[in-house]
């Protein structure tokens, strides 16, 4: 039983790796195969349902834009408020990138001084 589960899940992974892009259609097919494999291996139905739901949620988050995530987490935000959050995030990102560049420059300078 365990070998059958392993084989089926391995096939699902190989199939998904061969896909050029994850689509709703091939993702649904993958989840269907996972669900069937787990049920055939006598996994408890509530556990299977929760696992599939968690996978769907994770996939949805990975394909979501920052703007979509903000609107999901804060549905009452106006478009202007969402734009302000996006601008603040961009500013923070720029500052972090500048700090990383400065740290790299400092590290490089320190390493060349030792030589």
Catalogue all structural domains in the chain, each as residue range(s) with its CATH number.
1-63 (1.20.120.140), 65-115 (no CATH)
Helix segments in the chain, DSSP class H: 2-17, 24-40, 45-62, 66-73, 79-114
Using the predicted structure, report yes or no on whether residue 104 has a pLDDT greater than 70.
no
List pLDDT tens digits, range 28-62: 888 999 999 999 999 999 999 999 998 888 877 67
pTM score: 0.51
- Asked if residue 9 lies in contact with residue 37, where contact means CB atoms within 8 angstroms, the answer is yes
């Amino acid at each position: 039983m365990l070998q059958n589960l392993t084989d089926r899940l391995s096939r699902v992974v190989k199939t998904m790796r061969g896909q050029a892009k994850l689509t709703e259609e091939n993702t649904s097919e993958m989840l269907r195969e996972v669900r069937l494999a787990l049920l055939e291996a006598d996994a408890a139905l509530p556990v299977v349902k929760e696992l599939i739901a968690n996978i769907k949620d994770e996939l949805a988050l990975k394909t979501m834009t920052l703007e979509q995530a903000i609107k999901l987490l804060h549905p009452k935000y106006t478009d202007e408020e969402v734009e302000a959050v996006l601008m603040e995030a961009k500013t923070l990102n720029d500052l972090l990138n500048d700090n990383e560049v400065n740290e790299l420059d400092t590290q490089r300078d320190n390493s060349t001084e030792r030589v």
